[in-house]
């Protein structure tokens, strides 16, 4: 349910990468912008500072993709603390070797520029965009390394592994990113944010941003937007005084009698009920609008504020839940199916006359599920076993299987069971592997129910086989659930979703 801005939204990296293709006729000289940055850090004359900061920010955005990288490296390395000197002084201090009266004066740091920009008009947005660039560069570098590791020598010869890719440079950029993230988290505390209910009467520019940034369930037209802001619906956003007219994050809410099981109930099929009959506030979309604020959990505070506001204005509403996508499920499942296919082929080559097989072999299907898939699959999707059949069906680009009652019946049991396993048992560093699950669980929700064929859109089928999940926020347990998940990764789940898990594995999910 939580999502980054859509692909068609111009991110900092998208706009900068255009320079490398077509060139920017208004690009300033790199050295001039570099000198401007240095002046913005070192200048002591307050009356001239605003002019210098304006000049630097304009110059930065005029630079090409490559020159932005170079400038950020200068900022991250040349204006960083002298870490060797700091370590030596710490050693002296711990060894009681610090000479009396000795004072360490570090070099001017990038933190000075960050602080000055935050106090400058438009500076907070600039810092967010600056961090978006850093994250994009780091992501590009990680992608290059991932591709290179998969295709070894040939790709290594093709990739532009310039000085930017050196580990020492990446470490400096990560340190700069950490500094920016820490400062942005402080400046964007709930106290500094304004909760605003977005309505049809808001400015056209604000409404346009809602349409642009909505990435979970795209808004198709003005009629669709008007309905999402009308009777039985709510939209709330966090605004900051330094970025007027632009929500940093917004949440869409449907007022319903019960927790919805399909997205059609929320967006298309049913007219809204009278608000006086609503007993459930369903959060069906949360969208972040600033790539540079990634990792700063504004959604946690937004959900809690919205729950408090709805409870105050609508006492009848007692249930707060979500209808959420499961964006990583298909990727995880297809990877498991493909790897098992590879392992099976390798074992057959090594043990042509049979044998115990590899210790890595795992049949993801129950015997009855295997039989149903083998018997119901058309010849075009045939395979040596049920997992191969399942892989062939789920990787078909035409999604023919959703039009066949027999195939839907054969796929439903394994897809629902494995989805429950994915949400409750598959972990990364002790936390839920799925990003949306991790978001809601760390905010104090519990996993309530899986919904079969809840989203038949191409995106829904590609991400999760059409399955969606309800998370529920039980107001009296939010802090308790958030703390137990944070402390030891306990996932609170209803008996409805636990029934999909094998009994011997139930202990891995904590019941509510």
CATH of the domain at 7: 1.20.140.90
My answer on whether 24 and 117 are in the same domain is yes
My answer on whether 18 and 116 are in the same domain is yes
Structure tokens at 207: 């409404």
- Whether the predicted pLDDT of 503 surpasses 60: no
- Whether the predicted pLDDT of 195 surpasses 80: yes
Name the domain boundary from 273, 300, 322: 322
- Whether the predicted pLDDT of 235 surpasses 90: yes
My answer on whether 284 and 368 are in the same domain is no
Crossing angle for the helix pair 435-442 and 478-488, to the nearest 10 degrees: 120
My answer on whether 79 and 217 are in the same domain is no
Higher pLDDT, 278 or 13: 278
pLDDT of residue 43: 86
- Whether the predicted pLDDT of 104 surpasses 60: no
- Whether the predicted pLDDT of 453 surpasses 70: yes
pLDDT of residue 329: 98
My answer on whether 394 and 435 are in the same domain is yes
The pLDDT of 432-445, averaged and rounded, is 97
How many domains are contained in the chain? 3
- Whether the predicted pLDDT of 362 surpasses 80: yes
My answer on whether 73 and 218 are in the same domain is no
My answer on whether 84 and 155 are in the same domain is yes
Q: Catalytic site residue 440?
A: yes
pLDDT of residue 161: 46
The pLDDT confidence band at residue 150, using thresholds 50, 70 and 90, is: low
* Residues spanned by the domain of 246: 191-322
The pLDDT of 128-133, averaged and rounded, is 95
- Whether the predicted pLDDT of 487 surpasses 90: yes
My answer on whether 149 and 202 are in the same domain is no
pLDDT of residue 348: 62
- Whether the predicted pLDDT of 279 surpasses 90: yes
My answer on whether 37 and 152 are in the same domain is yes
The pLDDT of 446-470, averaged and rounded, is 96
Crossing angle for the helix pair 30-42 and 46-62, to the nearest 10 degrees: 150
pLDDT of residue 269: 58
- For 449, list phi and psi in degrees, rounded to 5: -160, 145
Higher pLDDT, 247 or 97: 247
Catalytic: which of 324, 376, 464, 492?
324
- Whether the predicted pLDDT of 162 surpasses 80: no
Q: Catalytic site residue 500?
A: no
My answer on whether 334 and 298 are in the same domain is no
- Whether the predicted pLDDT of 309 surpasses 80: yes
The pLDDT confidence band at residue 200, using thresholds 50, 70 and 90, is: very high
My answer on whether 61 and 181 are in the same domain is yes
Higher pLDDT, 494 or 2: 494
pLDDT of residue 268: 76
The pLDDT of 169-194, averaged and rounded, is 90
Tens digit of pLDDT for each residue in 27-67?
Answer: 889 999 999 999 998 888 777 899 999 999 999 999 998 99
- Whether the predicted pLDDT of 194 surpasses 80: yes
Task: Give every CB contact of residue 67 below 8 A, 6+ residues apart in sequence.
Answer: 27, 30, 33
Structure tokens at 388: 């191969």
Which segment, 41-50, 132-141, 189-198, 354-363, is predicted with the most confidence on average? 189-198
Share the mean pLDDT of the chain.
84
The pLDDT of 309-326, averaged and rounded, is 96
My answer on whether 7 and 132 are in the same domain is yes
Of 90-104, 207-221, 243-257, 265-279, the poorest mean pLDDT is in 90-104
The pLDDT of 303-319, averaged and rounded, is 96
pLDDT of residue 101: 44
Centre a 10 Å sphere on the Cβ of residue 223 and count the other Cβ atoms it contains. 9
Count Cβ atoms within 10 A of the Cβ of residue 172 and give its class: 0-12 exposed, 13-18 middle, 19 or more buried. buried
The pLDDT of 446-468, averaged and rounded, is 96
Name the domain boundary from 155, 187, 219: 187
- Whether the predicted pLDDT of 98 surpasses 50: no
CATH number for 441 = 3.40.630.150
pLDDT of residue 33: 95
Catalytic: which of 120, 440, 464, 492?
440
Of 92-96, 340-344, 352-356, the poorest mean pLDDT is in 352-356
Asked if 416 contacts 500 with a C-beta cutoff of 8 angstroms, the reply is yes
Name the domain boundary from 322, 349, 379: 322
Burial 253-269 (b: 16+ CB within 10 A, else e): bbbbeebbbbbebbbee
pLDDT of residue 436: 96
pLDDT of residue 410: 96
- The string of DSSP letters for 246-311 reads --SEEEEEEEESS--SSHHHHHTSSPPPPGGG--EEEEEEEEE--GGGTT--HHHHHHHHHHHHHH
Tens digit of pLDDT for each residue in 399-430?
Answer: 999 999 999 999 999 999 999 999 999 999 99
Structure tokens at 152: 């070894």
pLDDT of residue 293: 95
């Amino acid at each position: 349910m939580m999502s980054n801005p859509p692909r068609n939204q111009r991110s900092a990296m998208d706009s900068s990468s255009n320079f490398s293709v077509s060139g920017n006729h208004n690009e300033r000289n790199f050295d001039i912008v570099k000198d401007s940055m240095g002046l913005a850090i070192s200048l002591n004359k307050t009356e001239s500072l605003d002019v210098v900061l304006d000049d630097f920010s304009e110059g930065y955005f005029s630079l090409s993709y490559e020159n932005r990288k170079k400038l950020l490296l200068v900022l991250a390395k040349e204006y960083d603390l002298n870490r060797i000197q700091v370590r030596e002084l710490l050693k002296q201090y711990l060894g009681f070797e610090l000479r009396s009266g000795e004072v360490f004066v570090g070099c001017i740091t990038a933190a000075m520029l960050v602080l000055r920009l935050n106090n400058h008009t438009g500076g907070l947005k600039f810092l967010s965009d600056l961090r978006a660039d850093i994250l994009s560069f780091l992501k590009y570098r990680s992608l290059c390394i991932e591709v290179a590791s998969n295709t070894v020598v040939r790709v290594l010869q093709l990739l532009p592994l310039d000085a930017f890719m050196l580990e020492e440079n990446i470490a400096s950029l990560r340190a700069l990113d950490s500094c920016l993230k820490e400062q942005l988290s402080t400046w964007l505390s709930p106290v500094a944010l304004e909760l605003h209910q977005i309505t049809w009467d808001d400015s056209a520019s604000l409404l346009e941003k809602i349409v642009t940034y909505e990435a979970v369930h795209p808004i198709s037209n003005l009629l669709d937007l008007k309905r999402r802001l009308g009777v039985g619906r709510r939209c709330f956003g966090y605004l900051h005084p330094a970025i007027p007219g632009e929500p940093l994050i917004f949440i869409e809410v449907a007022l319903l009698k019960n927790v919805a099981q399909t997205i059609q109930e929320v967006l298309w099929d049913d007219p809204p009920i009278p608000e006086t009959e609503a007993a459930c506030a369903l959060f069906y979309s949360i969208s972040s609008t600033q790539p540079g604020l990634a990792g700063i959990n504004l959604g946690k505070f937004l959900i809690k504020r919205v729950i408090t506001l709805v409870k105050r204005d609508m006492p009848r509403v007692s249930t707060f839940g979500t209808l959420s996508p499961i964006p990583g499920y298909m990727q995880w499942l297809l990877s498991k199916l493909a790897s098992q296919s590879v392992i099976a082929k390798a074992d057959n080559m090594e043990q042509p006359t049979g044998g115990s097989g590899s210790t890595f072999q795992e049949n993801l299907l129950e015997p009855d599920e295997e039989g149903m898939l083998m018997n119901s699959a058309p010849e075009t999707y045939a395979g040596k076993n049920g997992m191969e059949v399942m892989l062939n069906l789920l990787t078909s680009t035409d999604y023919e299987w959703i039009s066949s009652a027999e195939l839907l019946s054969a796929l439903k049991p394994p897809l629902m069971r494995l989805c429950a396993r994915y949400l409750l048992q598959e972990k990364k560093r002790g936390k839920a592997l799925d990003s949306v699950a991790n978001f809601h669980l760390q905010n104090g929700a519990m996993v309530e129910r899986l919904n079969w064929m809840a989203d038949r859109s191409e995106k829904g089928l590609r991400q999760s086989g059409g399955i969606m999940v309800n998370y529920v926020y039980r107001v009296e347990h939010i802090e308790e659930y958030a703390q137990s998940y944070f402390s030891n990764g306990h996932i609170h789940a209803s008996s409805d979703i636990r029934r999909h898990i094998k009994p011997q594995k139930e202990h891995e999910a904590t019941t509510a």
